[in-house]
Amino acid sequence: MSAFLDKKIPLCKPSINSDDLKVVSDAIKSGWLAHGSCNHDFEDNFARYIGVKHAITMNSCTSALEIALKAHGIKGEVIIPSFTWVATANAVINAGATPVFADVDYETRNLSSQHIESLINHKTEAIIVVHFGGQICLMADILKLCEKHHLLLVEDSAETIGARFDHRQAGSFGVGCFSFFPTKNITTGEGGMLTTNDQSFATKCRALISHGISTTTFARENQNNPWERAADYAGHNYRMPNPLAALGNNQLARLEKFNSRRKDIAHFYNSKLKTLDGLVKTPKIAQGAEHVYQTYTITVEKRTRNHLVKFLNHCNVGASVHFDPPVHLQPFYKNFLEKRCVLPSTEKLSAEVISLPIYPDMTLKDQRLVVKRVKEYFAR
């Protein structure tokens, strides 16, 4: 069968060009490999892009989530979706708080205020919304809910860099937490960012990610006694290296172009897969939300899902599943919970969702081949 001779189409692939290589090389040649001037440039440009006052580079989005909670002293319950990567829940646990799992909307894959409200009680201190796969949650009602109950709002925007709701960027409604893992809309290899409008909170976050010390080595260079370092907190080393920040800053300049390409590929998939209506459901975009397709997900019947993913992989199409099992059914959290969560939409989605290849440099030929193989499966 010719399908098995096709070249491998990966699920995702970072877009790295010669200029990216140059800025990383220049940063390495500068001799400043730890947190430095490139971090400041990346932070300033990222904050301006998101529309917030402060952005703080970190080693991961997971660290940003943990620090967002720790800096606010969150120790009670934190409502999160179960349909997410386990890092969201891990950050809650590692901050010393307790995750409470909410169901999501099957079609948008996101939390809504309706899913959250029934879980709020006197122990609730924060909500972490996860903007799934490139689509921002419906933030207006969620924001009102947080204000009504005086809850910290944290946005896990790892998969949604550049998406908007009512013309506002993801990460500008609450404390924004972003990922620059190679699968994301821009990359630094490993890396993350925290965004906020709160000056005192930002200052505390900067100290917490740098051993509890409020000034960086780079900032102390011009002090009379640059070796003097006073720890105000029991902090961590969650900093991003200077060369990775150089890469991130260079990638940020091309983010809109990257996201435009992702939308074009998603539109192609939508138009071609609609002929399989009844067999394949394509993503739904909620009113007022923008989708930047960090992941392109379809759903099929539960009995079909695993067979289709394996067929596509056998045909060298890098399809995968995000996320199965959901967090509340992961071994640790299954044992951690006092009673079994009942999250019907989450469990149905987890059993039916498939992620298809999508990345800015994907050719039209590869897009056609992905669609061809999906149709081939159902034709059989």
Which CATH number fits the domain that encloses residue 372? 3.90.1150.10
Q: Taking residues 38-44, what's their average pLDDT?
A: 98
214 and 275 in a single domain? The answer is no
**Dihedral sign, CA of 217, 223, 227, 233?**
negative
Contact 360, 262 (CB under 8 A): yes
β-bridge mates for residue 57, sequence order: 193
- How far are the Cα atoms of 39, 81, 217, 369 from residue 220, in angstroms, in the given order? 15, 41, 5, 55
325 cis-preceded (ω within 30 degrees of 0): yes
23 and 132 in a single domain? The answer is yes
Say what the pLDDT of residue 222 is. 66
Residue 350: pLDDT over 60: yes
Instruction: State how many domains the chain has.
Output: 2
Tokens in use for 300?
């099929």
Non-local (6+) Cβ contacts of 364 within 8 A are 268
pLDDT digits (tens, 9 = 90+) for 91-135: 999 999 999 999 999 999 999 999 999 999 999 999 999 999 999
Q: How far is 300 from 370, CA to CA, in rounded Å?
A: 16
31 and 59 in a single domain? The answer is yes
Residue 236: pLDDT over 60: yes
C-alpha closest to that of 127 among 74, 172, 67, 204: 74
304 and 221 in a single domain? The answer is no
Residue 6: pLDDT over 90: no
> By percentage, how much of the chain surpasses pLDDT 70?
96
228 and 240 in a single domain? The answer is yes
Other C-beta atoms closer than 10 Å to the C-beta of 4 total 8
Residue 378: pLDDT over 80: yes
The residue out of 211, 239, 255 marking a domain boundary is 255
Q: How far is 308 from 273, CA to CA, in rounded Å?
A: 14
Q: How far is 39 from 242, CA to CA, in rounded Å?
A: 6
Interaxial angle between packed helices 302-314 and 364-379, expressed in degrees from 0 to 180 and rounded to the nearest 10: 130
- How far are the Cα atoms of 171, 192, 249 from residue 245, in angstroms, in the given order? 19, 10, 6
Q: Which domain holds residue 202?
A: 18-255
303 and 178 in a single domain? The answer is no
268 and 150 in a single domain? The answer is no
- How far are the Cα atoms of 17, 81, 82, 330 from residue 121, in angstroms, in the given order? 50, 17, 19, 25
Better pLDDT: 261 or 228: 261
185 and 118 in a single domain? The answer is yes
Say what the pLDDT of residue 302 is. 98
pLDDT digits (tens, 9 = 90+) for 200-226: 999 999 999 999 998 766 665 666 677
296 and 180 in a single domain? The answer is no
Contact 58, 238 (CB under 8 A): yes
Q: Taking residues 318-340, what's their average pLDDT?
A: 94
232 and 262 in a single domain? The answer is no
pLDDT digits (tens, 9 = 90+) for 153-174: 999 999 999 999 999 999 999 9
Beta pairing, strands 353-356 & 296-299: antiparallel
Q: How far is 273 from 240, CA to CA, in rounded Å?
A: 41
Q: How far is 202 from 116, CA to CA, in rounded Å?
A: 27
Say what the pLDDT of residue 216 is. 66
Say what the pLDDT of residue 3 is. 47
